[in-house]
Structure 1
Amino acid sequence: MIHEENGLFKLDTLHTSLWFRVTRHGHLEHIHYGDRLSSDQDADGLLLKQSTLPGSSILYDQNDPYYCLDTLALEWSGIGRGDYRQSPVEIKMPDASFTCDFIYKSHEVSLGSSPCADLPSATGEDEDCSTVKITLEDISNHVELFLYYTVYEATDVITRRVVLKNNNRKSLLIRRLMSMMMDMPDRGFKLITFDGGWIREGHRHERPVAPGIYINSSTTGASSNRHNAGFILSEKGTGEDNGRTWGFNLVYSGNHYGSVELSVQSVLRIQVGINPYCFEWELGQGECFETPEAVMTFSSKGFNGLGRNFHDFINKHIVRGSWRDAERPVLFNTWEANFFNFTERKLIRLARQARILGIETFVLDDGWFGTRDDDRQGLGDYSVNKKKLPKGLKRLSRKIRVLGMNFGLWFEPEMINENSELYRNHPEYAVTTPGKEPTRGRNQLVLDLCNPEVRNYIVSSLSRVMDEAEVSYVKWDMNRHISDGFSHCLERQGEFFHRYILGLYDILRRVFTPRPHILLESCSSGGNRFDLGMLCFSPQIWTSDDTDPIERLKIQGGLSCLYPLSTMGAHVSDSPHQQTLRATPLHTRFNTASFGSLGYELDLKNLTPVQRKEIQHHIAFYKEHRRTFQYGRFYRLDSMADNTVNWLCVAPDGSEAIAGVFRTLSEAAPRGDILALKNLVPSASYTVTSCPQMLSVRSFGGLVKHITPITLKPDGLVLRLVDHYRGVPDGRESYSCKGDTLMSGLHLATTFLGTGHNEHIRLMGDYGSSLYVIKRKEAV
């Protein structure tokens, strides 16, 4: 809901309000963003008071002794008029100065969203959202700035973006233009960012906001695994389910920039947009430049509450097409089973095994094209490797579909090897800096997506292969950062990084819009491009190349603060894990991966009969509860112990919930676990049942001597044979409780104490875990 009266703008969602006003000098003054306010009141009690000014202040108008931009809370600012905080805009104006002062001119309100022209943005119908477009103008230079605010009432989200228009005869040069800026009074904020690198993406970090500026950004050419574009501000004492939180993100897949700056007057300035790093954009007369769309939301119910806002918004307004609100298939990826070494016979053998396990989509990863026998050759070529697949992809795909599975294929369209036909014919297609030896990553160069010829080649090549092989799933990879940022097609190289991303979006539209049935999973060495821009095309993203379930607790747990589980590709792989050398139980690998879009990536021929049976059970269980896992309300639950992580998904209709209890490291004589659930009906009756799971006999080591009549070697032939066909069932638990009891805290069964074993003891150990199914017995 958007309401304006006498220059006071009130933007209200279901639970939040954003208020700002036009000041007497035409600037936009921020008043409030947080809990929803009663609309039938003025804003005087919320305004920062300016009855006097600090020393050294610069007056905006000599005739107005109490008006200083540096002490106001603003929705937008400029340069050269007395505001010394970081500006959201840096433009060499047509008058050759950097001074800019954007003053209110007009506004208009409309129903629906305000989609970007060339960039992906959120979508919404008239009944979902409304938009206010506010026109500001730098009068002396005839330059207009349009601020777009779109209010998504049901999801408690407001999006913001900026369009700059040059009406001057002379051109201007943009060096910095943010998508949003907002000032708020300090509340003792903490800043939470999601940082890492390859195989350790999205780790949650928290620090107090102190005077000065903190920047969360990427310069890799992608949104990056180093610093996700999303970040959170919280008040002191905020927990998962209590306290005020403010979240920000950007619908963009390139170099992003987010900053928080605390002034000496204790006003916090928040900015989100394109990174000014190496950025310049010339704007001629009548031309416009649009920024990516920024997303902001608020919750008074802690980090889980904020996450629910983001999750609902992404599932309803970012993900689109036939995959919006659709359940993701269980897939098998061939990479860890075969790497580059496979034949059609090997693949069909794998596919038959995968079908028996319950797999729905079979994905052929790297190595199917050109001379791609290792990562030093072949990228850029799309002819099928006839040594591996003599009858081509079409026959392989048909055989996979006859087995009852869909067929998926891996591509890395943005990259090129120098040992490829494409490079030999078109070396100018690669991104290189004139006069310098190019820098390489994973033995490859980057294709110049600023070049329309390159884009046309990628679109035609991918379209041909996808149609011929009748693929229903695509894994789109990007395995290196961008360096040597230069395009021979551009006169102004300051446009390179942004035009590269515009070129990527152009390719994605042209390839996948005509093929809406294809499920696109974005990947960039794992989660190097996990962002809202890619989610507009790719309903799920390969969260990390790290499939170690203990590491995934940090990765998926961190990213869940910003993104729904339906978007997170999560696989069960071999153990010990190739990224950490950590050995983990099969059930823990599944239990972690089930909180996402499930897949498998291991060599199926090495599975024992007991493991095959266990995986069959896992997949059947996941399919039964898939809707809850992918679209249920997700909660990170509090735990008494530092070595335990508890997660919960509650079905959209409230009929069931799935809880996961994960032990990162065991301890001697552990305390009892209490599982306090959320979002249940207090008066309803529920059953709680642990999911059956098996443990390896050899995991008990020398303890087996206490329960066998003869002495057996812990790693001897007999126990290896037993492990091959039988496992030790973990302790089973079953309870009947009211919802209020479960939310107060369910005391779980005793874990192994080193003194014995029976059917009631939970055998957690290092890296152990359990799933609990909570079923409501009666309608409420």
Structure 2
Amino acid sequence: MQIDYIAEKKLFVLATPNSTYAMAINGQGALGHVYWGKRVSRAADLFEPPPGFGGVSQQEYPGWGEYFFDEPALKIAFHDGTRDVRLRYASHDTVSHRESRELRILLKDSFYPLSVTLVYRLHPDCDVIDRHAVVTNEGADPMTIESVQSAAWYPPRDNTYRLSYQTGRWGKEYRPQEWTMGQGRAVLDTRRGTSGPDFTPFFWLDVNGKADEDNGQIWFGALHWSGNWKITIERNRDNQTRITGGVNDFDFSWVLRTRESFTTPVFSGAFTDAGFGAASRIWHDYQRAYLFRKEKANGLMPLIYNSWGTFQFDIDEKRMVQLAELAAGIGVELFVIDDGWFGRRINDKCSLGDWYPSPDRFPNGLNPLIDKVNSLGMDFGLWLEPEMVSPDSDLYRAHPDWVFRFQNRDCSQYRHQLVLNLARDDVKEFAFNTMHNLLRNHNIKYFKLDNNRYISEPGWACVDIPDQKSVWVKYYHNFYDIFERLTKAFPNVLFENCASGGGRVDFAMHRYFDRINRSDNQDPLDELFLHEGFTQANLPKLAGGGCHISKGMCGINGRSTPMRFQAHVGMLGSLAIGENLFQCNPAQLDELKGYAALYKEIRPVTHRGDFYRLISPREQPLAAFEYVSKDQNDAVLFVLGQSMQFRDVLPNIRLKGLRPETVYEVEGGKRMSGAGLMHIGIPVPLRGDFDSRVIRIRAVPEA
């Protein structure tokens, strides 16, 4: 990582291992964008400013004002009614941290006491640039932020770009979409109070749609925000493409009073010339090194049993003890009690918010069950939905003012529940203390956080009207504060992020959550497509769920699939079992035991290695995914069939990421060089429906 300032040219140059990012101060004193793309080693090559550099159209952080008509990064109303922002360079400095270096550029309005600090953070051996902005009122009069974005990104001018992005809904997340950009504007955003699933906060741009999994230049980015967000991708009439992203300005405003600052979420960007696969691996390595908690970054995901897939709300201490004994017998490492353990919770109509063990189902509390689970050699986990409350609950009867609501309006219920206003500090402390006390008083090693409805009627009557639209942002400031404190207090607890499945999957959540319920849809055929989309930006080992092996949860489409296929697909991420073990015969229990052993054997590679998408299920009647250890000595190949027809002969599976000269042994005894495996490949015959293979490949030790 390298940050240089060339004073005679007023030029800033940021260098990552494979890319260069440059900007300069123009003749009007504004900070203009110069270049973002493949690494340029000679700084003099950047001295010639691009077209439009001297005007307002190419400002690094454009305010709404002057003669600027595109999407602004900042829109402010000053106390006297002026709505015009003119930012000029004031100063800069660099700051070194233990694992990063920062460039901070201070911009100031040409008249009003407004300052904006642009922050660029670089990491060692990483092509990702983290950016955010800090907006400060340095005067005595209040000013109102109407829109504040984290950054504006400029890929090279005059190219025709293909925009790739993801859409979704419940049970159908991470669906790939494309748009070949002409003059115009695309807006990706969420307004539900979560970062998905309608869109995910990621984008990819490639030139003329020519990039594929292994080739082509790609500019790509990710917004670190879990609430309402917006990314605008536009190509203006001068053929300049700009990507602006940050907190959604829909139903948002923020009053900045004297000496107050607003810090935007991080908006990360990166460049590669090696295709979509390389872009994914850049994100995966970045998450391991700089997002995840250090104690969890390279940890192995335990084999989980979750009670929900079979029993849903019908749980009690006696039955769970019996179930735990069976789970331990097949090799489960983490036994999880899902919904139904608290209050009077016998269905989804009551008791959210009453987070104490059900006196009817767990009359002795949770500790006797936890002690039994621990004595069987397993850790214990628990489900919780702390952002929600049931109208039929002790909590709601005590604090009806804690929920979102507008005056003179009824509250909309969904799934018989309402949303607690976490922007309130008293609600925040209640949620924190609830989880902290459960963790302090019980030997809980896993918390599954759920969120099963969106925010509506976001009224906040106890604050002044000018401040009420800040609720969308303050909600997540408090949310992050809760989990910052919890993860520090309980560093060995595994936290899972679930929001009706994959409704809140973003890089901000990755800082606190070690596993993700990728989707409530655990039909293994659908999971082939879900995993392909999920891994575009997210580390594969995060891909969890409650019940990969389960008749009930795998039957969302009314489809029956073999246990073997369910297990193999589940091993693509973090495997969980939800099968009714009481109904399994000895042969089925032995089969589950075998899958548990296989999962544990391969997970050092699948959880710590590099990931390759070899064959897309959208293009062939099968999917093929490969994981390669960082030292390139071991690989695991998954070949997962959909439906074979016409006695078609499948193509050889060509591997990736191996050392060409090394000899490898393919499971079964065949030996081939890395070059042979990558260029010739291996045949993997599949028959019928839902056939699958998991194949291990190991480097042959040199004699």
TM-score range, shorter chain: over 0.9
Mapped pair 1:568 → 2:543: yes
CA contact (8 A) 2:310 2:550 kept: no
Aligned-pair distance for 1:68? Answer: 3.2
Mapped pair 1:11 → 2:14: yes
Q: Distance in 2 between matches of 1:387 and 1:312?
A: 47
Q: How does 1:128-143 map to 2 (within 5 A)?
A: 128-143=99-114
Aligned-pair distance for 1:95? Answer: 3.7
Q: Residue by residue, what CA displacement relative to the aligned partner does 1:290-318 show, whole Å, maximum 9, x if unpaired?
A: 10111111111101101111001111111
Mapped pair 1:191 → 2:163: yes
> 2:85 corresponds to which residue?
100
One of 392, 403, 412 as aligned partner of 2:385: 412
One of 586, 598, 608 as aligned partner of 2:585: 608
One of 573, 580, 583 as aligned partner of 1:596: 573
Mapped pair 1:534 → 2:509: yes
Q: How does 1:423-438 map to 2 (within 5 A)?
A: 423-438=396-411
Q: How does 1:499-578 map to 2 (within 5 A)?
A: 499-570=474-545, 571-575=547-551, 577-578=554-555
Mapped pair 1:457 → 2:427: no
One of 652, 658, 663 as aligned partner of 2:636: 658
> 2:40 corresponds to which residue?
37
Mapped pair 1:483 → 2:406: no
Aligned-pair distance for 1:40? Answer: 4.3
Structure showing greater Rg: 1
> 1:739 corresponds to which residue?
674
Structure 2 residue identity aligned to 1:340: F
1:308 match: secondary structure? helix
Mapped pair 1:144 → 2:115: yes
Q: Distance in 1 between matches of 2:700 and 2:487?
A: 44
2:513 match: secondary structure? coil
Mapped pair 1:168 → 2:139: yes
Structure 1 residue identity aligned to 2:328: R
How many residues end up aligned between the 2 structures? 693
CA contact (8 A) 2:551 2:579 kept: no
Mapped pair 1:297 → 2:270: yes
Q: Distance in 1 between matches of 2:221 and 2:322?
A: 47
Q: How does 1:181-330 map to 2 (within 5 A)?
A: 181-184=152-155, 185-235=157-207, 236-330=209-303
One of 40, 50, 55 as aligned partner of 1:48: 50
Moved more, 488-497 or 642-651: 488-497
Q: Residue by residue, what CA displacement relative to the aligned partner does 1:451-504 show, whole Å, maximum 9, x if unpaired?
A: 222122222222222222210110011110110111233322110111111121
Aligned-pair distance for 1:583? Answer: 1.5
Q: Distance in 1 between matches of 2:425 and 2:500?
A: 25
Q: Distance in 2 between matches of 1:665 and 1:503?
A: 48
Q: Distance in 2 between matches of 1:490 and 1:540?
A: 36
> 1:579 corresponds to which residue?
556
Q: Distance in 1 between matches of 2:670 and 2:463?
A: 67
One of 600, 603, 622 as aligned partner of 1:623: 600
Aligned-pair distance for 1:286? Answer: 1.0
> 2:94 corresponds to which residue?
109
Q: Residue by residue, what CA displacement relative to the aligned partner does 1:105-136 show, whole Å, maximum 9, x if unpaired?
A: 11001112xxxxxxxxxxxx2xx321000000
User: In structure 2, do the counterparts of structure 1 residues 30 and 779 end up closer, same or farther at CA, with 3 Å as the change threshold?
Assistant: farther
Gaps of 5+ in 2: none
CA RMSD in angstroms comes to 1.7
Moved more, 553-562 or 461-470: 461-470
Structure 2 residue identity aligned to 1:773: R
Aligned-pair distance for 1:28? Answer: 1.9
Q: Distance in 2 between matches of 1:284 and 1:418?
A: 37
2:551 match: secondary structure? coil
Mapped pair 1:768 → 2:703: no
Q: Distance in 2 between matches of 1:194 and 1:439?
A: 28
Q: Distance in 1 between matches of 2:653 and 2:455?
A: 45
Aligned-pair distance for 1:183? Answer: 2.5
One of 61, 65, 69 as aligned partner of 2:56: 69
Q: Distance in 2 between matches of 1:246 and 1:288?
A: 30
CA contact (8 A) 2:357 2:365 kept: yes
> 1:709 corresponds to which residue?
none
Q: Residue by residue, what CA displacement relative to the aligned partner does 1:201-247 show, whole Å, maximum 9, x if unpaired?
A: 11122221221110111101011111111121122210101001111
CA contact (8 A) 1:340 1:367 kept: yes
Q: Distance in 2 between matches of 1:210 and 1:355?
A: 58
Moved more, 733-742 or 632-641: 632-641
2:489 match: secondary structure? coil
2:173 match: secondary structure? coil
Q: Distance in 1 between matches of 2:59 and 2:515?
A: 37
1:325 match: secondary structure? coil
Q: Distance in 1 between matches of 2:529 and 2:355?
A: 37
Q: Residue by residue, what CA displacement relative to the aligned partner does 1:31-68 show, whole Å, maximum 9, x if unpaired?
A: 211111113424145x3236xxxxxxxxxxxxxxx943
> 2:30 corresponds to which residue?
27
Moved more, 642-651 or 603-612: 603-612
Q: Distance in 2 between matches of 1:655 and 1:406?
A: 32
Q: Residue by residue, what CA displacement relative to the aligned partner does 1:705-728 show, whole Å, maximum 9, x if unpaired?
A: xxxxxxxxxxxxxxxxxxxxxxxx
Mapped pair 1:644 → 2:622: yes
CA contact (8 A) 1:12 1:153 kept: no
Q: How does 1:664-743 map to 2 (within 5 A)?
A: 664-689=642-667, 734-743=669-678
Q: Distance in 1 between matches of 2:65 and 2:476?
A: 32
Q: Distance in 1 between matches of 2:184 and 2:238?
A: 12
Q: Residue by residue, what CA displacement relative to the aligned partner does 1:383-403 show, whole Å, maximum 9, x if unpaired?
A: 211211121101111110011
Q: Residue by residue, what CA displacement relative to the aligned partner does 1:568-592 show, whole Å, maximum 9, x if unpaired?
A: 2144232363321111121221111
CA contact (8 A) 1:16 1:156 kept: yes
Mapped pair 1:380 → 2:383: no
Q: Distance in 2 between matches of 1:558 and 1:734?
A: 33
Q: TM-score, normalised by structure 2?
A: 0.96
Aligned-pair distance for 1:664? Answer: 2.0
User: In structure 2, do the counterparts of structure 1 residues 266 and 597 end up closer, same or farther at CA, with 3 Å as the change threshold?
Assistant: same
Aligned-pair distance for 1:441? Answer: 1.0
Q: Distance in 1 between matches of 2:622 and 2:158?
A: 34
> 1:441 corresponds to which residue?
414
Moved more, 662-671 or 440-449: 662-671
Aligned-pair distance for 1:321? Answer: 4.0
Structure 2 residue identity aligned to 1:572: H
One of 362, 372, 377 as aligned partner of 2:335: 362
Gaps of 5+ in 1: 51-65, 113-124, 690-732, 752-761
Q: Residue by residue, what CA displacement relative to the aligned partner does 1:428-449 show, whole Å, maximum 9, x if unpaired?
A: 1111111111001110000111
Q: Distance in 2 between matches of 1:237 and 1:665?
A: 30
2:154 match: secondary structure? strand
Q: TM-score, normalised by structure 1?
A: 0.87
CA contact (8 A) 1:490 1:496 kept: no
1:537 match: secondary structure? coil
2:90 match: secondary structure? strand
Q: Distance in 1 between matches of 2:398 and 2:441?
A: 25
CA contact (8 A) 2:549 2:567 kept: no
> 1:2 corresponds to which residue?
3
User: In structure 2, do the counterparts of structure 1 residues 41 and 439 end up closer, same or farther at CA, with 3 Å as the change threshold?
Assistant: same
Q: Residue by residue, what CA displacement relative to the aligned partner does 1:682-707 show, whole Å, maximum 9, x if unpaired?
A: 11111112xxxxxxxxxxxxxxxxxx
CA contact (8 A) 1:450 1:489 kept: no
CA contact (8 A) 1:31 1:43 kept: yes
Q: Residue by residue, what CA displacement relative to the aligned partner does 1:482-534 show, whole Å, maximum 9, x if unpaired?
A: 10111233322110111111121122223332111111011111111111111
CA contact (8 A) 2:174 2:533 kept: yes
